[in-house]
Structure 1
Amino acid sequence: MRAEEVTKVTEEVVTPILQEENLELVDIEYVKEGRDFFLRVFIDKDGGVGLTECELISEKLSEKLDQLDPIQDAYFLEVSSPGAERPLKTKDDFLKNINSNIYVSLYAPIDGEKEYEGILKQFENDVVIIEYKLKTRKKEVQIPYEKIAHARLAVVF
């Protein structure tokens, strides 16, 4: 089974479990590292998730996946918080994180750059507006949503 199929099946199985517990699905990845396969499910809620929630979801999801047995290969299941630099995967993620520091990489350059890090000022009409610093000056860039390859929260040190 391809990674896309595994993540799709996992999403179908885990979504009702998460809804029952008032948790949000952030991301799913199915990857091979060395000889081992890992199915990683990232969950969150307002205020963050703790070990107890991760263990509960892991147990419930593992039980369901064992019943359905959709994944032929042996794998390790990991359920965790997305961490401080959680990915921004949906338009809702952008809306929820206005005034947060974010990092985006683009499919094609805008103003000669393919990466931007700064404050997410606005998300409207499928355009992301980021305020960033160029040397000592503050600038803004408008990025069409469909041009974003990857986006995540960015921790400022």
Structure 2
Amino acid sequence: MKEEKVNTGVEKNEPLTGLFSPATIEEIVFKIKGFADPLCESEGMELVHVECQRETRGRIIRLYIDKPGGITLNDCTCISRQLSDILDVNLDTRWAYNLEVSSPGSDRPLGKPEDFDRFKGKIARIRISVPLDGQRNFKGLLLGFYDGTVKLDVNGKTVAIPYREITKARLFNYNGEIGC
């Protein structure tokens, strides 16, 4: 990992002068997924989510990985070392970063349409970009993914949230088990 310090005053959607330059945060995440997804798959794991953000100590690249039965510290170390080598070759050396690899945890991100079916019956928090009935944040029971929408039971009322409008979705206090 690169440990040098640089000025990292870049906001979301602002072009960067480093990794895969010029690129937005979204483009960088897309490219990192392009490296990380096949790597995780080759190790028998699932790439759950990738985040890239600015923090006081520089850029943070966070990967959340999983596999049946859960992941171990060795799994995280394996992916971290291999991906770090790949990123070191493809990063502009002026772009300092820290790579963090971990399990999705109890607030597991939901990003793919199949995630909303896989965790049907679990409580989720969903944020959307365009208000729906004056609301952007929802918390309720996942009912699944249907025809481009995520259905959520919010206080006994079914809410259909357009998938394309979801900016963030996470399980709420997920304990790692599916079903009863």
- The TM-score normalised by the length of structure 2 is 0.74
1:24 equivalent among 35, 38, 46: 46
TM-superposed CA distance for 1:114, in Å, is 2.1
Are 2:161 and 1:140 equivalent residues in the alignment? no
* SS in structure 2 at match of 1:151: strand
The answer to which structure has the higher strand fraction is 1
In the alignment, is the contact (CA less than 8 A) between 1:119 and 1:131 conserved in 2? Answer: yes
In the alignment, is the contact (CA less than 8 A) between 2:114 and 2:145 conserved in 1? Answer: no
Identify the residue that residue 170 of structure 2 maps to in structure 1: 152
Identify the residue that residue 8 of structure 2 maps to in structure 1: none
Task: Provide the aligned length of Structure 1 versus Structure 2.
Answer: 151
Identify the residue that residue 118 of structure 1 maps to in structure 2: 140
Letter in 2 for 1:148: I
Identify the residue that residue 108 of structure 2 maps to in structure 1: 86
In the alignment, is the contact (CA less than 8 A) between 1:102 and 1:152 conserved in 2? Answer: yes
Matches within 5 A, 1:23-62: 23-62=45-84
CA distance in 2, matches of 1:105, 1:35: 27
TM-superposed CA distance for 1:58, in Å, is 0.8
Letter in 2 for 1:59: R
Deviations 1:103-155 (A, max 9, x none): 1122233233222111111321112221122xxxx222222222323211112
Letter in 1 for 2:165: K
1:151–1:18 distance in 2 versus 1, CA, 3 Å: same
- The TM-score normalised by the length of structure 1 is 0.83
Are 2:29 and 1:7 equivalent residues in the alignment? yes
CA distance in 2, matches of 1:26, 1:13: 14
